[in-house]
Amino acid sequence: MSTEPSGVVVVGSINADLVVTLERHPQPGETLLGRTMTVMPGGKGANQAVAAAKLGARTVMIGAVGQDTYTEIALSGLHDAGVDTGAVQRVAGISTGVAIVEVDDDGENTIVVIPGANAEVTPELVAASSQVIADAAVLVLQGEIPAASVTAAVGVARGRVIINLAPVITLDRSTLLQADPLVVNEHEGALVLEQLTGSASGASEPSVASDHAATARALVDCGFASVVMTLGGSGALLASATDLLEIPAPKVPVVDTTGAGDAFTGALAARLSAGDSLPDAVRVAVLVGAYAVGTEGAQPSYPSLDDPLPAAPETTADSLTGARSFTGQDPAA
């Protein structure tokens, strides 16, 4: 593994995705015929690392795989993208993480993850890479490894910490609040808020629960320096103590949404490590997420630096991607 300081360090999951395409998702108890089955590299951590590396960030992956049929396919995207995998442990006697991904004709997916070796991303494994983590400009974490390992990684970080709490796991409050930003979709955001406040809206009025902006603001009120809420085809919200930005996504044909959120988070990390302000990084991440829904799979759908991103919507107050500030002022970078 390289000893040079890294732009982006991802501590997280590495999977092989068994991607099944089918007309529609089955009901409980129903058997359907699918169309195709393809095995691809995946895992939220690996996806984010690949997305960051393809956008030019020097990227290190810290994680674990088994020694089985799926090991090489799970690592292949990381290798192809030039991610440093020297800190990825190959654990004997356990299977590589696997995800069963079903994608219907509307591009919507369901995903079942068998963690396998991702459960072996222990605090000790993290501690073995503490210098690399400390040197990272941006550390990226998700919810597919043990919570204690997320805490261990955040504990040694000296750079910016992005926590994409997908899926939502229970982290201790002080660890979670180190996220700047916390990246969640609207469902995850409501769950995190419930964890922190006991209420899905953070307010006494139940109707506020449907208001994404209110949820993002309520999360900031819990103590996050910044919160990015991804809204699928609608773009993203960026909330901080002083501001709230709505960043719309371009309208694009949707083939497969798998891993689009990971492309977003990886792009965010890459741009932050390159020195962008947080609003500028979110603007690029929205376009990268839109690009990623255009082809099948997670990592194979991510853009490289040479790939033209979709144009930002025109309703914009701003020439880069169209951020609209509710208060007329960008949040602090």
> In angstroms, what is the minimal distance from the CB of 206 to ligand RIB?
30
> In angstroms, what is the minimal distance from the CB of 185 to ligand RIB?
11
> In angstroms, what is the minimal distance from the CB of 116 to ligand RIB?
11
Q: Does 258 bind ligand RIB (CB under 6 A)?
A: yes
Tell me the CA end-to-end span of the chain in Å, nearest whole number: 31
Residue 80 CA to residue 243 CA, distance in Å, equals 39
Residue 44 CA to residue 57 CA, distance in Å, equals 17
221 a catalytic residue: no
Interface residue with ligand RIB among 7, 12, 42, 202 (CB under 6 A) is 42
For residue 57, give every residue at least 6 positions away whose Cβ sits within 8 Å of its Cβ, in sequence order, or none. 7, 8, 269, 270, 273, 274
Q: Does 322 bind ligand RIB (CB under 6 A)?
A: no
Interface residue with ligand RIB among 49, 50, 65, 111 (CB under 6 A) is 111
Q: Does 15 bind ligand RIB (CB under 6 A)?
A: yes
3-class secondary structure, 57: coil
Residue 49 CA to residue 232 CA, distance in Å, equals 20
Residue 243 CA to residue 20 CA, distance in Å, equals 41
For residue 72, give every residue at least 6 positions away whose Cβ sits within 8 Å of its Cβ, in sequence order, or none. none
Nearer to ligand RIB, 45 or 250 (CB): 45
Residue 186 CA to residue 203 CA, distance in Å, equals 16
3-class secondary structure, 46: helix
> In angstroms, what is the minimal distance from the CB of 13 to ligand RIB?
6
Catalytic residue among 135, 262, 280, 330: 262
CB atoms closer than 10 angstroms to residue 173: 11
Q: Does 99 bind ligand RIB (CB under 6 A)?
A: yes
> In angstroms, what is the minimal distance from the CB of 46 to ligand RIB?
8
Build a one-symbol-per-residue string for 116-155: x at contacts with ligand RIB by CB under 6 A, - elsewhere: ----------------------------x-----------
Q: Does 71 bind ligand RIB (CB under 6 A)?
A: no
Residue 69 CA to residue 252 CA, distance in Å, equals 36
Nearer to ligand RIB, 144 or 243 (CB): 144
Question: Which residues are catalytic, by number?
Answer: 262
Instruction: State the residues that interact with ligand RIB by CB under 6 A.
Output: 13, 15, 17, 42-44, 47, 99, 111, 113, 144, 258-259, 261-262, 298
